[in-house]
Amino acid sequence: MSSDNVEIAPFHGRDRHLRGFVVSGRWPGSTREWAQFLALAVRLAAVPGLVPTTTVFRAVEDVPDDPQPGTVGLVTSAGPVLGEGAPQPGAFSGRTPPALLLLHPPGESRPSSPEVVGAASGCVLLPGLPHLGLDHRAAWVEAELDGTVTRLVSQVGVDPSMDPDTAVLAMLLAA
């Protein structure tokens, strides 16, 4: 396994719902690489039933028990965005994760155009330290059930309050 590659392997729970991803080789190192990771995650979220409701995922530097060689961390489900089991505001303020993701399954995603049917969508927020000159970064992806990516946008210098997904993720980071 080359340390130059970012390798991603999804995993699910007994309920067959997506629970996260094992990250091997190295962590994504740029907004572009996180957008590519998000594109994979959204394509999986488009599969009916794999992501039952809008769900928050967080990157953690923990590794699974008995990890494969080269495993560097996990991106794990933190729970639904609303309802029972949802993370509370400030849930990630103690140890800020390098990335937070929000995945919307097809029934809970608003397509970007009328031609897009049954699409899933998602957002990744890469928290910065704006007071130190390190801007927040984010990416947004939309994909149809067949895997076609219909929208991919990435941005540096994100104001989290200007987008509903980044606002929710920023709220979860806030103390």
pLDDT digits (tens, 9 = 90+) for 55-82: 999 999 888 888 888 999 999 999 999 9
Mean pLDDT of 116-127: 92
**Residue 143 counted as domain residue:** yes
pLDDT at 2 over 50: no
**Residue 2 counted as domain residue:** no
- Please state the pTM of the whole predicted model: 0.90
pLDDT at 164: 93
Dist. CA 31–CA 121, nearest whole Å: 17
**Residue 159 counted as domain residue:** yes
pLDDT at 1 over 50: no
Mean pLDDT of 111-139: 82
Mean pLDDT of 100-117: 89
Range of the domain at 89: 7-173
**Residue 151 counted as domain residue:** yes
Could you give the dihedral angle defined by the CA atoms of residues 19, 25, 28 and 33, in that order, rounded to the nearest 10 degrees?
-100
Question: How many CB atoms are closer than 10 A to CB 146?
Answer: 8
pLDDT at 116: 84
**Residue 53 counted as domain residue:** yes
**Residue 63 counted as domain residue:** yes
Question: How many CB atoms are closer than 10 A to CB 34?
Answer: 24
Dist. CA 104–CA 165, nearest whole Å: 10
Total structural domains in the chain? 1
**Residue 1 counted as domain residue:** no
